[in-house]
A and B are shown apart, each in its own frame.
Chain A
Amino acid sequence: MGRCGLKLLIVDDQKVIRRSIHLFLKDYNIEVVGEAADGEEAVQLFKKTRPDVVTVDITMPKMDGLACIDELKKVDPNVRIMVITALADRATGLIALTKGARSYINKPINPEKLIKAFDKLLKREKDVNANSHT
């Protein structure tokens, strides 16, 4: 496990996206503990692997990303969820954040964009923790 000491589950029906996220975070030293191609598989894998962070696509077969967020939050209300989706409208972003996603970024992704989003997610968390101790 790496500098942030976190475990990651990647959820996306596109294999190229799962592989991209895995590759782009190679030097981030976050441990990828699983990959799921739909929401149902994600919930099963989540229960098994108990990751700290989950990247979730929205448009997926069987169970979409918004329903998946609900299910993951039932299992662990504190899980950090980053939505990575092609859906670029504000309304969907707001729904995801209201459901408890902590970050929402749009595809297409590249290494810089993804690392920046992870840095922001984890920095915000560090800041919140620091403030709660002061």
Chain B
Amino acid sequence: MQIATHDLQTKELICQVFIDSIHHYFEEVTGEESKVALPYIVDNDEDLLDDVAAMIGISGSRKGFVYFTGPDALFKELLEFILHDTNPTDEDVADMAADIANTVSGNVRRSFGADFMISVPAILSGNSKHIKLPGLEPIYTIPIKWRQHKSHVVIGLK
């Protein structure tokens, strides 16, 4: 796929702002550092979804989506850490994912401004392992590790 240099620089900047936002989330909530690996471009039909994914629609100055996806165990451990809840429901797990997606996406407005408009989160879960995201290539994914749990922030913006 050909990407113009200025597009690449813009995408790199966007990824960096999201990386900062992810670090900030885990540090503020848990007092612990998260590890973020280098972002990479994914194909449109590549498996992207883990156990739970929370998607935020983006409109305004940019259009597209951001979603946070990770295993049940990550969200359960966060719920135990934050709320001392050792027996969360599926709804609680989905809500935890939604909160991360919302917070990480909302915080980037510090850099992108109020025209980077975010929707309320939508939960994607169940058996779906593919998501069709036409017209938003390249789609970047940022791998995250907190404690032993791996998760991803996936960004498709035009």
Binding site for B on A (CB under 8 A): 13-17, 19-20, 23, 59-61, 85-89, 91-92, 106-110, 113
Contacts and interface: CB of A to CB of B under 8 A. Distances in A.
Contact of B82 (A20, A85, A89, A113): A20
A44 B2 CA distance: 54
B28 interface: yes
Contacts, number: 73
Contacts of A23: 83-84
B105 interface: yes
A55 to B, nearest CB: 15
B109 A60 contact: no
Q: Name the prevailing secondary structure of the A interface residues.
A: loop
Contacts of B79: 16
Contacts of A17: 99
A23 B24 CA distance: 22
Contacts of A91: 113-114
A111 to B, nearest CB: 10
B92 interface: yes
Given A16-B92, A113-B28, A86 B83 contact: no
Nearest to B108: A88
B67 to A, nearest CB: 15
Nearest to A24: B82
A14 B28 contact: no
Contact of A92 (B103, B105, B114): B114
Nearest to B56: A59
B110 A88 contact: yes
Contacts of A86: 102-107, 118
A18 B120 CA distance: 16
A14 B31 CA distance: 21
A101 to B, nearest CB: 16
B103 A107 contact: yes
Contact of A89 (B25, B28, B29, B109): B109
For the complex of A and B, 7 pairs with smallest distance between CB atoms: A86-B106, A88-B110, A89-B109, A91-B114, A108-B28, A86-B103, A107-B103
Nearest to A14: B99
A96 to B, nearest CB: 12
Nearest to B100: A108
A113 B27 CA distance: 13
B99 A16 contact: yes
Contacts of B108: 88
A59 B59 CA distance: 13
